[in-house]
Amino acid sequence: MYLDRKPTGCTWHPDIDPSDGHLLNTINFDPASNNPFDVPLPWLAGDWESECWRTSTPSETFELKGWQIRRTRDLAFVAIDVPETGLANPADLEAAALASYRQLFALRGQLELPHLQRVWHWLYQLLEGDGEAQRYRSLCRGRARAVDEVEATLPPATGIESARPGLRIQALFGTQPITPVENPRQVSAYRYPREHGIRSPAFARAAITQLGGTRYLLLSGTASIVGHETRHVGDVRQQTRESIANVAAVMDTASADTSAQGLKGLAGVRGYVAAASNAGVVASELRALLPGVPVTLLHGRLCRPDLHVEVETLMRF
């Protein structure tokens, strides 16, 4: 499988000719979209405004237990929208996250694709609520409870405030087990101390996996966190640099091949910017740090109020 980023100005040519492939999924960046495969955020700037995920075999689209599914024999994108009416208070939000994650794990058997590869969460008003009543923390509690119930390798994940009411969850399933990769500069998120929430965020920093015939390193949303603490509060430029230092540390840890490619080998970077007014600084910093790498910036608040920027990325190797 490969990614075909649709550029708006600058062009990125994936290794495989896109005309050879079959379309698996199209992802638009659109806060108003009711298509659960879309990212519910405004696009700010950058090299592509939508993503086409292509595969070497044909795909089919259908619904299963309330989830939208786009799959080939070996790979599936799944997505669901949980309406805001089901998230009215912290207990309801936790229960909705628990139920959604139970369904997600059950889909492994129903799709006969036993390995969860990657998850994205988009939650409206992510930081509303104090202490444990915060909506992000409620999501983390429900997710952690579901993870406790099953045998599963934690996947890489992204969690961003949605511009659209409700909770949208998207995930990728495959046939191959993933090999999680942690970051030696960061406490694993699933071991964060209680000050960040009574249930830690259950995700891996990255994972090595094989999709189709290609090996990938898939990285989670990565921010300016060292140890478990936010660094460079109030300094968006330094937070951008620290985020990329974390990406580099994960790549160095993952394998000799990903380490050897270095940052220039990244297939593309989605940057999430909490304040649209910071887009220019983040863009110029990412351009300087990642010459030649396609970058696109989206507008969404992050799961700590002191984070200004977060990046997610992937590498073929």
Do the strands 2-7 and 48-55 form a parallel or antiparallel pair, or are they unpaired?
Answer: antiparallel
Residues 203-262 that bind ligand 3EB (CB under 6 A): 203, 220-221, 223, 225
Sequence-separated (6 or more) residues with CB below 8 Å from residue 19: none
The count of chain residues that interact with ligand 3EB, using the rule CB under 6 A, is: 12
134 binds ligand 3EB, rule: CB under 6 A: no
For 75, other C-beta atoms within 10 Å of its C-beta total 24
189 class by beta-carbon count within 10 Å (0-12 exposed, 13-18 middle, 19+ buried): buried
Which residue among 97, 169, 297, 303 contacts ligand 3EB (CB under 6 A)? Answer: 303
Q: Least CB distance from residue 134 to ligand 3EB, whole Å?
A: 12
Decide: helix, strand or coil at residue 134.
coil
Give residues with Cβ within 8 angstroms of 133, minimum separation 6: 90
- Looking at the Cβ atoms of 70 and 121, the one nearer to ligand 3EB is 121
Of 52 and 282, which has the nearer Cβ to ligand 3EB?
282
Nearer to ligand 3EB, 158 or 278 (CB): 158
Minimum CB–partner distance for residue 303 and ligand 3EB (Å):
4
Contact 188, 250 (CB under 8 A): no
Q: Whose Cβ is closer to ligand 3EB: residue 189's or residue 282's?
A: 189
Which positions from 150 to 179 touch ligand 3EB by CB under 6 A, shown as an x/- string? Answer: -------xxx--------------------
Report which of 46, 13, 9 is spatially closest to residue 29, judged by C-alpha positions: 46
Give the residues lining the site for ligand 3EB (CB under 6 A): 121, 157-159, 189, 201, 203, 220-221, 223, 225, 303
